[in-house]
Amino acid sequence: MTFMKMHRLLIFSIMFCISYGQEARPHPPKITTPDVEERIYYKINDEVILACQAEANPKAQYEWTKDNEAITSDFIKQDPNTGELQIATLTRRETGAYQCFASNQIGSKTIKAMSPIITVDLAYLESWDETGLPPPRISAIEGEAVQLTCDNVPACNPPGQFKWYQGDDDSSEVVQNERIAIDAEGTLHFVYVTKSDDLNGKKYQCAIFNRHLNSINLGSGKILEVTKLNPIPDRAPSVLYSKSNQKALIGHYVDIECIFGGKPIPAISWKNNELELITGSSTDKYEFMDTSRRVLRVKNIQESDEGSFTCEGANTQTNSAITALNVTSRPIWEKALSSITVAATKEASMTCQAKSVIRENPPGPPEWFENGASIPNDKFESGKYVFSDNQQILKVTDLVKPDDTTCFQCKVTNSEGFRFGDGCLDVIEPIVITLRPPAVQEITKGDIVNLTVIAETNSPFEIRYKWFFNNQTYDDMPPFVIFNDTSKSAYINTEDLSFENYRKINGTYIRMVYNAHETINITVQVVLKEVAVVGPATAAAPDLWWIALIIGILLLVCVIVIICVVCRRKAQEGVYPLDKKERANDLDPEKDLADSGFHDLSRADDNGMEKKGTPLQFTEEPLSYEDDDSLAEYGDGEDMGKFNEDGSFIGVYMDKKQPAPPVRNGNETQI
Ligand SMILES: *[C@@H]1O[C@H](CO)[C@@H](O)[C@H](O)[C@H]1NC(C)=O
Ligand SMILES: *[C@@H]1O[C@H](CO)[C@@H](O)[C@H](O)[C@H]1NC(C)=O
Ligand SMILES: *[C@@H]1O[C@H](CO)[C@@H](O)[C@H](O)[C@H]1NC(C)=O
Ligand SMILES: *[C@@H]1O[C@H](CO)[C@@H](O)[C@H](O)[C@H]1NC(C)=O
Ligand SMILES: *[C@@H]1O[C@H](CO)[C@@H](O)[C@H](O)[C@H]1NC(C)=O
Ligand SMILES: *[C@@H]1O[C@H](CO)[C@@H](O)[C@H](O)[C@H]1NC(C)=O
């Protein structure tokens, strides 16, 4: 039991600590309910309850407005602590645009966030006026197209749906089929009439249905008299119903309707704004709402749907109608105003950016408000606030905590209506860099590259770090960087690096210091002084350097061995003079040294070249080897010489395959 209690206490404390980090810090209200704008239909005398809720510290107080004004009506009650608004019995008087303010106190200022607009609307359906007149009579001959209009339609909110009934009792609804259709304005169409459509003096009656109220009102009767005709003649298609223009709202759908008269019943086909035939009864974009294809639904309206849709009715002949779809919209957010958290001393950009659909006038510059009221001019005069981009961006400069913590609202309007945005600016303590390394560091091998960055903050958001080196991200550390977790120092000790690795450390190091709301880049440029001085020849061939050095050393050893041999021989016969041709091929060692600037390397190159050079050609001059084995080793060349009495070899040696042994004269070996 005790253990359980302690366990719970522990969990509670942890949770408290976690929530403390988020909640304890004073911050502006963030409205969570309502979160989107909405139109809600109620019936007359309904009770209406609207909720408003915000996350805030200190706790938010709530106030609703109706049609942008404070609410004074006795019939609307609101609770500033819970955010609830109540209309006990709704009448038309209480309908309108409601908006909630959530406010709290930060520093000495009242901060107000505003909710999206909730429109309280009344669903209603009025009665048909009793005209007292007998129903009008419509006469037609069999085969003619006939239209019965629905007259004096009473007000209906939201817009109703039309139906027709036949006879006196209202239970026999007219069923739409290939030959009978009701258009969007309530007119009943007969593609062609037959005697069976004549109700023998009884009337056709139009009705309007309010889906929201689930109620229907019957009115406007018409009597149809049809004269028989035999045979019924064929008739070419005629357009009974089509709209030349239709508005379509971005993101919504639109129904385009086309009714043809004619006999036989014209078959209907559609072409879209790209003049492509619409096939299939339902796709992602198009759907036929009835089997006769009189109603085409264009779904998820986009700007690309703007243009002319063509319907064609065909029996033995054809006819067609065109509906121009005008795609339009209230301002469309490109970047809606939203809440941001920014560190003090920085600047904040509040953005309220919206567009109209293509080919329509763009919205005017947004209207801005601060905490629900217009912004005092001195904020702009002092340069504290700066507008840019046609007032779509409001910059707050040189942020101060908590004075600049505030909420903004914006309203963007175009020909189709407006949109409202809300966003708060929360100013937090900045990250302070207490130690930063020199920005440019010129390094000689043996130096320490100093990359130590130390940062502190009083904000509750944890500081994190990231490394970049020459545009590459390093989750741990760039190559050769040592990080001491105790002292938090970061450095490169160039003394411990090989020359090859040392050459890799130049470039740009970025220590990114960041938290959830701020990023600071500390940049260090490392320049290698030593490498910079040496000419491009060395830098160009870094890989050959070692190979060249090893070859150089090996050749040097060979040369020394051979020199020893020659010296011994010289002691016996004198010096072998270098051939003129050899001199010509040999590079000047002094010049090489000057060119390359690197002693060992130039030496290696020099030797390497000589090895590949023209083989030595002995003419008259004798050359002796210590023994016969060495001679055999150096050539299967034609032996044209002979041995001296003392055993030394005299003659001409012509090498065919292998280079001659490298031989140096005395001067060279002294180097
Ligand atoms: C489409 O409707 C808008 C708004 O009513 C109007 O300004 C515009 O001229 C119309 N465009 C066309 C092509 O009819
Ligand atoms: C690195 O540079 C900073 C600032 O110049 C200096 O305070 C610090 O002592 C240096 N660290 C090392 C290890 O040299
Ligand atoms: C890093 O990227 C920038 C911009 O893409 C480029 O100008 C620069 O040369 C790059 N630096 C290195 C070392 O690759
Ligand atoms: C890290 O820094 C601390 C304090 O400056 C020092 O005592 C320690 O020797 C360093 N550790 C290493 C591995 O260099
Ligand atoms: C490093 O130095 C070399 C030689 O000076 C230079 O060619 C190279 O561009 C430098 N690299 C960077 C990343 O700065
Ligand atoms: C910091 O540097 C990184 C890497 O170059 C870059 O991606 C980032 O945008 C920089 N951030 C800032 C605030 O400059």
Under the phi-then-psi rule, with left for phi > 0, alpha for psi from -120 to 50, and beta for the rest, what region is 96?
Answer: left
For ligand 4, the distance from its centroid to the CA atom of residue 487, given in whole angstroms, is: 6
How many whole angstroms separate alpha carbon 621 and alpha carbon 271?
A: 103
- Structural domain contains residue 559: no
How many whole angstroms separate alpha carbon 396 and alpha carbon 380?
A: 10
Cα 158-164-167 angle, rounded to 5 deg: 140
Using a 6 Å cutoff on CB, does residue 246 contact ligand 1?
A: no
Coil/strand/helix, residue 375 = coil
What does pLDDT average to in each consecutive run of 10 residues of the chain (671 residues)? 49 45 78 96 97 96 96 96 97 97 94 97 93 91 96 95 86 93 97 95 94 92 94 96 97 97 97 95 94 96 96 97 97 96 96 95 97 95 97 97 96 96 96 96 94 94 95 93 94 93 94 95 92 44 55 65 56 45 43 40 36 38 38 37 42 39 39 32
Say what the pLDDT of residue 407 is: 97
- Structural domain contains residue 544: no
The number of residues in the chain equals 671
In this structure, the answer to whether residues 283 and 346 fall within a common structural domain is no
pTM (2 d.p.): 0.71
Instruction: Give the count of beta carbons closer than 10 Å to the beta carbon of residue 368.
Output: 19
For ligand 6, the distance from its centroid to the CA atom of residue 522, given in whole angstroms, is: 10
Using a 6 Å cutoff on CB, does residue 316 contact ligand 4?
A: no
In this structure, the answer to whether residues 185 and 280 fall within a common structural domain is yes
Which two structure tokens, joined as six digits, stand for 563? 């020199």
Q: 84, 101, 122: which is the final residue of a domain?
A: 122
User: How do strand 472-474 and strand 464-469 relate by DSSP bridges?
Assistant: antiparallel
In this structure, the answer to whether residues 168 and 105 fall within a common structural domain is no
Cα 195-196-201 angle, rounded to 5 deg: 85
For ligand 5, the distance from its centroid to the CA atom of residue 514, given in whole angstroms, is: 28
In this structure, the answer to whether residues 441 and 522 fall within a common structural domain is yes
Instruction: Give the count of beta carbons closer than 10 Å to the beta carbon of residue 209.
Output: 15
- Structural domain contains residue 189: yes
In this structure, the answer to whether residues 179 and 303 fall within a common structural domain is yes
Say what the pLDDT of residue 667 is: 39
Closest protein CA for atom 2 of ligand 2? 437
Residues in a beta bridge with 433: 455
Beta-strand ranges (E) seen in 498-609 are 507-515, 518-528
Residue with tokens 């339902």: 282
Residue 68: φ, ψ to 5°: 70, 15
Q: Check whether the bond before 615 is cis (ω within 30° of 0).
A: no
In this structure, the answer to whether residues 461 and 416 fall within a common structural domain is no
Give the residue numbers spanning the domain of 457: 433-528
Using a 6 Å cutoff on CB, does residue 437 contact ligand 2?
A: yes
Q: 248, 280, 315: which is the final residue of a domain?
A: 315
- Structural domain contains residue 41: yes
Alpha carbon 168 to its chain's center? 63
How many whole angstroms separate alpha carbon 431 and alpha carbon 663?
A: 71
In this structure, the answer to whether residues 466 and 362 fall within a common structural domain is no
Q: Estimate the crossing angle of helix 589-596 against helix 599-612, to 10 degrees.
A: 130
For ligand 6, the distance from its centroid to the CA atom of residue 478, given in whole angstroms, is: 16
How many whole angstroms separate alpha carbon 497 and alpha carbon 59?
A: 60
- Structural domain contains residue 533: no
Instruction: Give the count of beta carbons closer than 10 Å to the beta carbon of residue 165.
Output: 19
DSSP codes of every residue in 403-437: TT-EEEEEEEEETTEEEEEEEEEEEEPPEEEEE--
Burial label for 200, CB within 10 Å (0-12, 13-18, 19+), is exposed
Say what the pLDDT of residue 593 is: 39
In this structure, the answer to whether residues 475 and 404 fall within a common structural domain is no
DSSP codes of every residue in 256-322: EEEEEEEESPPEEEEE-TTSPBP-SSB-SSEEESSTT--EEEEPS--GGG-EEEEEEEESSSEEEEE
Name the CA dihedral angle for 371, 374, 377, 383, rounded to a multiple of 10 degrees: 40
DSSP codes of every residue in 180-220: EEE-TT--EEESS--GGG--TT--EEEEEEETTTTEEEEEE
- Structural domain contains residue 107: yes
Pocket test for ligand 2, best of 435, 440, 443 (most atoms within 8 A of CB): 435
In this structure, the answer to whether residues 129 and 14 fall within a common structural domain is no
In this structure, the answer to whether residues 158 and 262 fall within a common structural domain is yes
How many whole angstroms separate alpha carbon 89 and alpha carbon 649?
A: 132
The domain that holds 111 is classified in CATH as 2.60.40.10
Q: Check whether the bond before 80 is cis (ω within 30° of 0).
A: no
Say what the pLDDT of residue 133 is: 87
DSSP annotation of 173? B
In this structure, the answer to whether residues 14 and 91 fall within a common structural domain is yes
Pocket test for ligand 4, best of 435, 486, 488 (most atoms within 8 A of CB): 486
In this structure, the answer to whether residues 348 and 338 fall within a common structural domain is yes
Residues in a beta bridge with 389: none
For ligand 2, the distance from its centroid to the CA atom of residue 436, given in whole angstroms, is: 8
Pocket test for ligand 3, best of 468, 469, 470, 471 (most atoms within 8 A of CB): 471
For ligand 4, the distance from its centroid to the CA atom of residue 482, given in whole angstroms, is: 11
Coil/strand/helix, residue 328 = strand
Q: 259, 284, 315: which is the final residue of a domain?
A: 315
- Structural domain contains residue 265: yes
Number of domains in the chain: 5
DSSP annotation of 352? -
Say what the pLDDT of residue 8 is: 54
| Whether 461 contacts 377, CB under 8 Å | no
- Structural domain contains residue 552: no
